[in-house]
Structure 1
Amino acid sequence: MKTVVLDKKHHDRKGFNCGVEALNNYLKVMASQQGGKDNTRTFVLEDLGNNSTIIGYYTLTMIPLDLSALPIELQKKHSSAGSAGLIARLAVDKRYAGQGYGEWLLIDALHKLLQASDAVGFPLVIVDAKEGVSAFYQRFGFVPFQDSADKLFITIKEIRGSLS
């Protein structure tokens, strides 16, 4: 399995349904536009039987880092850091749910963000989890921000240690 950059001419975005309308609509309407403006990158996992069918997707970008929401030891350690990687969206089509694709997509996203951090340097990866799914990210070492249970982070150091 491998992810590829979303191609609006090739991938069937209209056939994708993860059960969360905001995630469906982003893929159908905004993902290609944001990618074309170099604001984000959306990667899709294609069905091997029909590579225009999207099993799942994730979107990556960078965001400003609000150090005040981090634990004190990370505030001190990363006091000069200005940005973090962001997994802006991650979703799996309902037809493929429960088969490990969400986990696979998350690990793939973390690999890409680790490579990006190796090139340009940033200390954290952040995710804004949809309501009810923060436990999924916590299983992989993400920690909730002090001010929001659905906004989580993991350090690049922790990613490097777990993926190597």
Structure 2
Amino acid sequence: MDRGILRIQPLATTHDRLGFSCGVPALDRYLREQAGQDARRRVAAPFVATTDGVRVIGFYTLSATSIELSDIPPAQARKLPRYPRLPATLLGRLATDLSVRGTGLGRVLLVDAITRAVRSEIASFTMVLDAKDESAASFCAREGFIRLPGTPIRFVRRMDDLAAVVGAP
């Protein structure tokens, strides 16, 4: 990583998105071309990691979503109200620049996203992640997220469990 203090902050026009490359063209294109629009339209909240306030070395997005009660594992669903859909937080995208691969920045971004989601004053039963590929799916599984049955890429983890991970009440 570049020298400097790592900061994770909302995407701003001052951030250099053009130099970012994670090796997944769809994620690179999203950050360069779509993330700013999504932020302005309030359909996703992109957060970027930087050590100099300009160069983006990682990013993630958060947004509100919902999950079907029938998609929740039965052991957890038994303890929930019978609403057809439950509120959730979507960690839509998470990527790190190739220059910082293997430094643990992906986990730092995940913990930051969890912390922001847990601290939100809006109810959310679970965090949902959609893995882009098997490497991302392995990352989700290593971080304790559970693959939903019948969906090869969708993972969930209860918000109360995540609160314990980040030491929040």
Give the corresponding residue for 1:16.
Answer: 20
- 1:61-72 mapped onto 2 (5 Å cutoff): 61-72=63-74
Aligned residues: 159
Which residue is 1:137 aligned to?
A: 140
Report the counterpart of residue 99 of structure 1 in structure 2.
103
**SS in structure 2 at match of 1:154:** strand
Q: Distance in 2 between matches of 1:136 and 1:82?
A: 25
Structure 1: stretches of 5+ with no match in the other structure: none
The match for 1:125 is 127
SS in structure 2 opposite 1:15?
Answer: coil
Q: Secondary structure at the match of 1:39?
A: coil
* Greater displacement, 100-109 / 59-68: 59-68
Q: Judge which range, 146-155 or 70-79, deviates more.
A: 70-79
Rounded to whole Å, the distance in 2 between the matches of 1:35 and 1:126 is 19
Other-structure match for 1:162: 165
Deviations 1:5-54 (A, max 9, x none): 101x211111100000110011011111011011110000112xx32101
Q: Which amino acid aligns with 1:160?
A: A
Shift of residue 156 of structure 1?
Answer: 0.7
Q: Please tell me the residue identity of whatever aligns with 2:138.
A: A
Separation of aligned partners in 1, 2:67 and 2:102 = 33
Alignment match of 1:2 (pick from 7, 13, 26): 7
**Counterpart of 1:58 in structure 2: which amino acid?**
Y
Comparing both structures, which one devotes a greater share of its residues to strand? Answer: 1
Q: Is the 8 A contact 2:87 2:123 kept in 1?
A: no
RMSD, matched Cα: 1.2
After superposing the two structures, state which structure 1 stretch, 18-27 or 63-72, moved more.
63-72
TM-score by length of 1: 0.92
**How far apart in 1 are the matches of 2:87 and 2:125?**
8
Render the CA deviation track for 1:110-134: whole Å, top value 9, x for unaligned.
Answer: 0001011xx1211100000111121
Report the AA paired with residue 9 of structure 2.
V
Q: Give 3-state SS (helix, strand or coil) of 1:18's partner.
A: coil
| Distance in 2 separating the partners of 1:82 and 1:107 | 23
User: Percent same amino acid at aligned positions?
Assistant: 29
CA distance in 2 between partners of 1:124 and 1:108 (Å): 16
Residues in 2 aligned to 1:59 and 1:65: alpha-carbon distance in whole angstroms:
18
- 1:150 aligns with 153
What pairs with 1:110-121 in structure 2 (closer than 5 Å)? 110-116=114-120, 119-121=121-123
Q: Which deviations, in whole Å up to 9, do the C-alpha atoms of 1:88-144 show, x marking residues without a partner?
A: 00000001111010010000000001011xx12111000001111211111121000
| Residue equivalent to 1:75 | 77
